[in-house]
Structure 1
Amino acid sequence: MNHPAIPELKAAIPELESATSAANWSGVGLSRKHESAELHVLGQATYTDDIPELQGTLHAALGLSSKAHANIVAMDLEPVKNSPGVVAVLTAADIPGVNDCGPIIHDDPILSPGLVQYVGQPIFIVVADTHTNARRAARKAAITYDELPAIFTPQQAKAAGSYVLPPMKLEKGDPQAAFERAPRKVKGELFVGGQEQFYLEGQISYAIPKENRGMFVQCSTQHPSEMLHVVAHALGLHSHNVQVECRRMGGGFGGKESQSALWAAAASIAAYKLKVPVKLRADRDDDMIVTGKRHCFWYEYEVGYDDAGRILAAKVDMTSRAGYSADLSGPVATRAICHFDNCYYLSDADIRAGAGKTNTQSNTAFRGFGGPQGAIAIEYIIDEIARELGKDALDVRRLNFYGIDERNVTPYGQVVEGNVLPELTARLEATSEYRARREAIEKFNATSPVLKKGLAFTPLKFGIAFNVTHLNQAGALVHVYVDGSVLVNHGGTEMGQGVNTKVMQVVAHELGLDLCHVRITATDTSKVANTSATAASTGADLNGKAAQDAARQIKERLAKFAVEQHGGDVASVRFADDHVHVNGQAIRFHVLVGQAYLKRVQLWSDGFYATPHLSWDPKTMSGHPFSYYAYGAAVSEVVVDTLTGEWRLLRADALYDAGSSLNPAIDIGQVEGAFIQGMGWLTTEQLWWNASGKLMTHAPSTYKIPGISDCPEDFRVNLFDQPNVADSIHRSKAVGEPPLLLPFSVFFAIRDAISAVGNHQVNPPLNAPATSEEILRAIDAVTAKVAQ
């Protein structure tokens, strides 16, 4: 795309020219700019709140509970109704259909029918002439509560036996017998906090009534099909009455997979009752108070190992803070169980997970979806083992890696194939100068009593697919117009991660066109129905394959037509560099398309893809849940001030296995972003509820996400370029969630620096996030242990 006002932008982000011959032409594997990059820079990218409002549009706000667990005894809404600009106030009794927005278990009311279960739970909807008037009025309700006992932490939930669903257990071998035989043992606890998604664009829905009881909802959501179902059920309508559209989101990270349903439903209920368009936009405070976050986890573990550091038996019990309803806590717990092993072979294991029911926001999907919470526990354990043995943690990690031809079956029974970790680890160990830097840090620490440096190397193995098998499907629609231009629609949603750009590249490659001839339209449930969420790192994998299938059908029709017109055989027809090469001739694509139209050749097609060879039995916790594994590793070096707890990341080296990358520029950007986001989760982003259960970290002033100053000056990110062994889209690998595990290296580098205070003789009891206060607590514990 060109724009006369910014020629310097084109110079800064150059387009790669199409190859000049059919022999070497390719539309994938190239670093192409994001399809909306210039719109982002110019401020012309349309988000839901930017859509021009129709005449008569009203604005909604939610009235929220001020108690964590209570029955509503009385509710006086007259002060709300009498507020300036208020048109209507709606309660649960006004919902025409089902009062529920739970994605799996139906335990999540849109509006509380009388029992409130967390501070911030929506009770009523205020509809007014302006957003400000609606929000001000929502604070004026006089509600009388009968308070009930409340549970806030996963520890309290486990002690009380309070769960949103039955705890899960995966057992392999005989872990108890293996544990008893082990010559060495380590036992302990760990707490890893949750994380706010902190998307730049908050939750928002704009509902517009249509004729014959129709409802058109423009929504910032990762799951338009689920929004359609929730809205249809809430309004008592069939699905074909509802249309949901999303052109792009200003970030999602999982927070707009299921949790956008509340906002879509509330806006639609108000629009349906009042028969006018209604917009519901959450302010940052309301958004953070109402919505769920990444699950915090509390771990109790016991591991047996030998004198070399090889794990012989592993037992872990993970309890998450699920919140007041199930939401996606079940699948999150499942994925945590399936990622506890991370990169390591466990011959005998007892892995348990419970989703603790608490009187807090109902926690939900977040980039990694339980995988990071599962994997960090085994990394913490290996870090403990290495320090107990006086060994370098990298050596202990390498000793426990999955093998290539043996020791390669996971606790849930899937064979680990395409394991590139040994080669990847060796490469990063060399390029990061790990051994030399380890020696230099030891010398530095020996002469530095206050500042201590730490270094850590952590690997990752991450399974790609939805744990629920039927969700691994996607559809797409491709139109070729008579001028040769192409329009694509698919079921994935764009939240800045570049899925649209990758799908465009796939279609351009299939039809032999330059990317400028392909355009993506908004995700729309009336075009591609019954789609899965854009989540689990499957966006490009699933939708790329579906779009490729649609484009291939069109290409086959055009190839057959070209042979009919110019001779030759269909198998030799090639589409490349904007031409169709047939029987020694090179015909411009748009010319052939125009001719085909006149001969009534179908120039559009739908495509479909379902990931093969997947299976999962939730009863036995076994199967083949993942299409393939992505791998990676990172090395981080930090310096910690032992007097203040302040720290700084000095250098980070990351090597990520993207397979044959569809777009290296976008993939490297995803790795960089995931690294910083994961670093925030493990170091600065602390969620805090007061004694009454109110979330106090509900704004940028009280919740610290990483800033530009937190990024290391020396940040080296590279892709490990080796084709995927699985038949993924062009042998690429997903790059959404797995890189979030790379900053484990930051956390363990901090722990390494703290350990240096006690000359590495004590395992620091460091929880996450490793805030300055937590670092000082761990330093005090190490100092006290050394003094004994």
Structure 2
Amino acid sequence: MNSSTDAFIRQLAATAGEVGKALPHESAALHVAGEASYIDDLPELAGTLHAALGLSPLAHGRLLGIDLEALRALPGVVAVFSAADIPGPNDCGPIVHDDPILAEGEVHYLGQPVFAVIAADRDVARRVAARAKEFLRIEPLPAVLTAREAHAQGRYVLPPAHLTREQSPGATRAAIVSAPHRLQGSLSVGGQEQFYLEGQISYAVPLEGGALRVHCSTQHPSEMQHAVAHALLLPANAVQVECRRMGGGFGGKESQSALFACVAALAASKLRRPVKLRADRDDDFMITGRRHGFEYDWELGFDDAGRILGVEIDLISNAGFSADLSGPVMTRALCHFDNAYWLPNVSMHGYSARTNTQSNTAFRGFGGPQGAIAIECILEAVARALGKDPLEVRRANFYGVGERDLTPYGQRVEDNIAAPMVDELVAQSGYAARRGEIAAWNAQSPVLKRGLALSPVKFGISFNVKHFNQAGALVHIYTDGSVLVNHGGTEMGQGLNTKVAQVVAHELGLPLARVRCTATDTTKVANTSATAASTGADLNGKAAQDAARQLRERLAAFVAQRAGGIDAAAIRFADSQVLLPDGTPLPFDTVVADAYAERVQLWSDGFYATPGLHWNRETLQGKPFHYFAYGAAVSEVVVDTLSGEYRLLRADLLHDVGRSLNPAIDIGQVEGAFIQGMGWLTMEELVWHPQSGALLTHAPSTYKIPTANDAPPIFNTRLFEGENPADSIHRSKAVGEPPLLLAFSVWLAIRDAISAAGDHRVDPPLRAPATPEAVLDAIEVVMR
């Protein structure tokens, strides 16, 4: 963090009350000291066994048999399980039931789990599982490995989705054909590995009566509970799933933790012994899916000012072998293609291509980045075709008022602050002056070229599915005045527990140190939603506030009655005291102890459901989002035209989090998301062998993520001043996913530098990630 950002945080830290303070993460000291417990840190119970997965060596084939007896006879092996050993449905698909726990009848990708080896020693289990090829009989079948190949064959995991908004029937095509200018093009954007520091892990412990406790590194404990219960033919109340914290998730532990939870639970249930399944990093890469790569084909018409009159686009995602979450990911991509721009006539077609690769899944942004990057690329193409600054074209297309505030899916953009945020960032970053300076620098630099780009963000906040937008919480006040909170969200390092504890402390007038959050547990708060879609603090914060407010009102009524019937509404809670209307302070601890003695209930449950949402899945119309979060970024890069390497020199970020619950955590989330997005678009390349279908980039040695050295030396981050017009928790806004889209500016700046190498005559055909090879390929085109 640079001095500018640090000073900004210190300024915000002066906020009164616990909400709005720049407080440290609740586990920060534990993280630094190495005392924060993750699942693999839990002391292993006596008799614990270890599981490892035997993986398919082929991308596609008919599974003819498994030599289970030979496997079971190997030294150290306690048991081997296959699909035939699963009592219930062999499925862990979150929406469509097409995702087997263990392969059955057919293998669909190289790396698909076929059997599980159980041993007393983890290394023994891993070594046996690694020999899977020796014990499997698989008849090879043709494999489809790319989204475009699958699209050409009409292979999809779900029916295509179409979202069209036209001024009149056929208006999109007519607008394109009759426009003063027309362009068409294509774009390829790769996927991204979540690369959580803590890999997939589940530790299943049998309990009395056939019940199970499953410690699972997951963003969705309730879904894991349901998956295990269904697979083992148990009622949900016989399966307890617990997660204190994760070492990162980024969406990779929303649905895809289920396979690991189910295998560990199956073995524990069958053997009546604790079983831990911790995937090796290579196996984790080979088994699990990641961000969907997208392919795009587009055509548009526009006027002399660069205003889009009509645009048609095909979005083709690589879904992998099963549906997983590809449907809602594509829906969100379609609903974010507009980003911050009014598109009078638009026709979008989404295809979720079925390939013989890992089933892709949720990743921070959940399709939003894949949708919005396409329109940013298109607007840059328009700007170069007209010889304009891309910022001028963006401003010409911003959402406005009247009919210009309606999204293609029918939701109005009522709090549009994209334009004023861009204006503020342009002034803060010195964009105009730097544009001129860079042009002059490039004119005298034949090899190194600099690029500058500004990109805005409009991101919708809520789950695509209405019923996921709910949460519950429990708040307990103990007789010593300390407070315990349990809620349905999961902590993966993003600071959710810190924010929820701040909300509760604020309601009760206590310092944050008096409030503690406990592990997410399906036996405490039931039927939870995934901690995803940036809704963790919105939903769980509101639920915890509801519970804490009930307790505060209950205590206030008790104090008012004892004081002779004074107005309970006039009693305030602040600074660990209960303040009577005349200002008389009563220690909070004393009030609580007295209330307990009078049998006043000192715990309460809270609930929240996001209001006003409605969505038609068939027509893709409605109000899917509670509100929009906004942002803007300016990035400056230098590109070596001989090697294709680039360096990010400076980044200026301005992001909208409403009235921040915790500015320190929010700025950390903004900067972290920006760097992660930069990795996706510039260096994190996924490569599959074109014949075998093996993922070749399946370890840190071959898959490169950004490090601290990739952060720019000048990194200015600020939070936009304002509050959420929607009734969110303390008028804050979600911060987890939206700022990842700020990294568009880095990729666009690289395109600008490449364009400069050809005197801005050609729009660079740069794919993402913009690896040195991709940069050199684009430079070759613009230099022709």
Q: TM bucket by the smaller chain?
A: over 0.9
Alignment equivalent of 2:145, drawn from 142, 152, 158: 152
Kept in 1, the 8 Å contact 2:62–2:138? The answer is yes
Secondary structure of 2:43's match?
Answer: coil
- Deviation sequence 1:627-657 (CA, Å, 0-9, x none): 0000000000000000000110000000000
- Describe how 1:337-486 pairs up with structure 2 within 5 A: 337-486=334-483
Give the corresponding residue for 2:297.
300
Give the corresponding residue for 1:746.
746
Secondary structure of 1:779's match?
Answer: helix
Kept in 2, the 8 Å contact 1:18–1:514? The answer is no
Alpha-carbon shift at residue 179 of structure 1 (Å): 1.4
- Asked if 1:681 corresponds to 2:709, the answer is no
Give the corresponding residue for 2:32.
41
The one-letter code sitting in structure 1 at the alignment partner of 2:482 is: S
Secondary structure of 2:315's match?
Answer: strand
How many Å separate the matches in 2 of 1:663 and 1:726?
Answer: 18
Give the 3 Å change call, closer, same or farther, for CA 15–493 of structure 1 in structure 2: farther
Alignment equivalent of 1:580, drawn from 569, 574, 578: 578
Give the corresponding residue for 1:627.
626
Percent identical residues:
65
Q: CA RMSD in A?
A: 1.5
- Deviation sequence 1:694-736 (CA, Å, 0-9, x none): 1010000000101111110111111002000100000000000
The one-letter code sitting in structure 2 at the alignment partner of 1:343 is: A
The one-letter code sitting in structure 2 at the alignment partner of 1:470 is: H
Alpha-carbon shift at residue 73 of structure 1 (Å): 2.0
How many Å separate the matches in 1 of 2:503 and 2:624?
Answer: 26
Kept in 1, the 8 Å contact 2:12–2:21? The answer is no
- Deviation sequence 1:26-45 (CA, Å, 0-9, x none): 11001000000000000000
The one-letter code sitting in structure 2 at the alignment partner of 1:445 is: N
- Describe how 1:249-264 pairs up with structure 2 within 5 A: 249-264=246-261
- Deviation sequence 1:398-453 (CA, Å, 0-9, x none): 11000144410000000001111121111100010000100000000000000000
The one-letter code sitting in structure 2 at the alignment partner of 1:726 is: A
How many Å separate the matches in 2 of 1:25 and 1:700?
Answer: 44
- Describe how 1:761-780 pairs up with structure 2 within 5 A: 761-780=761-780
- Deviation sequence 1:378-404 (CA, Å, 0-9, x none): 000000000000000011001100014
Give the corresponding residue for 2:194.
197
The one-letter code sitting in structure 2 at the alignment partner of 1:278 is: V
How many Å separate the matches in 1 of 2:782 and 2:418?
Answer: 33
How many Å separate the matches in 2 of 1:269 and 1:214?
Answer: 12
How many Å separate the matches in 2 of 1:422 and 1:712?
Answer: 26
How many Å separate the matches in 2 of 1:397 and 1:369?
Answer: 24
Alpha-carbon shift at residue 16 of structure 1 (Å): 11
Give the corresponding residue for 2:643.
644
Give the 3 Å change call, closer, same or farther, for CA 705–536 of structure 1 in structure 2: same
Give the corresponding residue for 1:9.
none
Alpha-carbon shift at residue 536 of structure 1 (Å): 0.1
Alignment equivalent of 1:162, drawn from 155, 168, 171: 155
Give the corresponding residue for 1:76.
67
Kept in 2, the 8 Å contact 1:661–1:721? The answer is no
Give the corresponding residue for 2:114.
123
How many Å separate the matches in 2 of 1:261 and 1:144?
Answer: 26
Give the corresponding residue for 1:594.
593
- Describe how 1:221-240 pairs up with structure 2 within 5 A: 221-240=218-237
Give the corresponding residue for 1:668.
667
How many Å separate the matches in 2 of 1:17 and 1:326?
Answer: 44
- Describe how 1:21-40 pairs up with structure 2 within 5 A: 25-40=16-31
How many Å separate the matches in 1 of 2:772 and 2:557?
Answer: 67
Higher mean C-alpha deviation, range 162-171 or range 141-150: 141-150
The one-letter code sitting in structure 1 at the alignment partner of 2:384 is: R
Secondary structure of 2:405's match?
Answer: coil
The one-letter code sitting in structure 1 at the alignment partner of 2:457 is: L
Alpha-carbon shift at residue 176 of structure 1 (Å): 1.2
Kept in 2, the 8 Å contact 1:164–1:324? The answer is yes
Give the corresponding residue for 2:613.
614
The one-letter code sitting in structure 2 at the alignment partner of 1:694 is: A
- Deviation sequence 1:526-564 (CA, Å, 0-9, x none): 000000000000000000000000000001100101101
How many Å separate the matches in 1 of 2:346 and 2:131?
Answer: 54
How many Å separate the matches in 1 of 2:67 and 2:88?
Answer: 24
Give the corresponding residue for 1:702.
702
Kept in 1, the 8 Å contact 2:12–2:22? The answer is no
How many Å separate the matches in 2 of 1:670 and 1:706?
Answer: 15
Alpha-carbon shift at residue 84 of structure 1 (Å): 2.8
How many Å separate the matches in 1 of 2:282 and 2:107?
Answer: 19
Kept in 2, the 8 Å contact 1:221–1:257? The answer is yes
Alpha-carbon shift at residue 83 of structure 1 (Å): 2.8
Kept in 2, the 8 Å contact 1:404–1:419? The answer is no
Kept in 2, the 8 Å contact 1:223–1:534? The answer is yes
- Deviation sequence 1:440-469 (CA, Å, 0-9, x none): 000000000000000000000000000101
Give the corresponding residue for 2:3.
none
How many Å separate the matches in 2 of 1:427 and 1:300?
Answer: 34
Give the 3 Å change call, closer, same or farther, for CA 197–69 of structure 1 in structure 2: same
How many Å separate the matches in 1 of 2:348 and 2:762?
Answer: 27
- Describe how 1:48-63 pairs up with structure 2 within 5 A: 48-63=39-54
5+ residue gaps in structure 1?
Answer: 1-11
Kept in 2, the 8 Å contact 1:566–1:583? The answer is no
Give the corresponding residue for 1:8.
none
Give the corresponding residue for 1:533.
530
Alpha-carbon shift at residue 626 of structure 1 (Å): 0.1
Alpha-carbon shift at residue 354 of structure 1 (Å): 0.8
- Asked if 1:182 corresponds to 2:179, the answer is yes
How many Å separate the matches in 1 of 2:352 and 2:414?
Answer: 31
Kept in 2, the 8 Å contact 1:25–1:577? The answer is no
5+ residue gaps in structure 2?
Answer: 1-6
How many Å separate the matches in 2 of 1:735 and 1:405?
Answer: 28
Kept in 2, the 8 Å contact 1:201–1:251? The answer is yes
How many Å separate the matches in 1 of 2:459 and 2:11?
Answer: 32
How many Å separate the matches in 2 of 1:718 and 1:574?
Answer: 33
Kept in 2, the 8 Å contact 1:463–1:630? The answer is yes
Give the corresponding residue for 1:781.
781
How many Å separate the matches in 1 of 2:21 and 2:75?
Answer: 56
Alpha-carbon shift at residue 96 of structure 1 (Å): 1.3
- Asked if 1:571 corresponds to 2:569, the answer is yes
How many Å separate the matches in 1 of 2:366 and 2:432?
Answer: 33
How many Å separate the matches in 2 of 1:674 and 1:227?
Answer: 27
Kept in 1, the 8 Å contact 2:477–2:484? The answer is yes
Give the corresponding residue for 2:4.
none
Count of aligned positions: 769
- Deviation sequence 1:565-613 (CA, Å, 0-9, x none): 1242112111111111113211111110111111111110000000000
Kept in 1, the 8 Å contact 2:13–2:21? The answer is no
Kept in 2, the 8 Å contact 1:243–1:524? The answer is yes
Secondary structure of 2:377's match?
Answer: helix
Kept in 1, the 8 Å contact 2:13–2:22? The answer is no
The one-letter code sitting in structure 2 at the alignment partner of 1:436 is: A
Give the 3 Å change call, closer, same or farther, for CA 657–18 of structure 1 in structure 2: closer
How many Å separate the matches in 2 of 1:404 and 1:260?
Answer: 44
Secondary structure of 2:464's match?
Answer: coil
Kept in 2, the 8 Å contact 1:153–1:358? The answer is yes
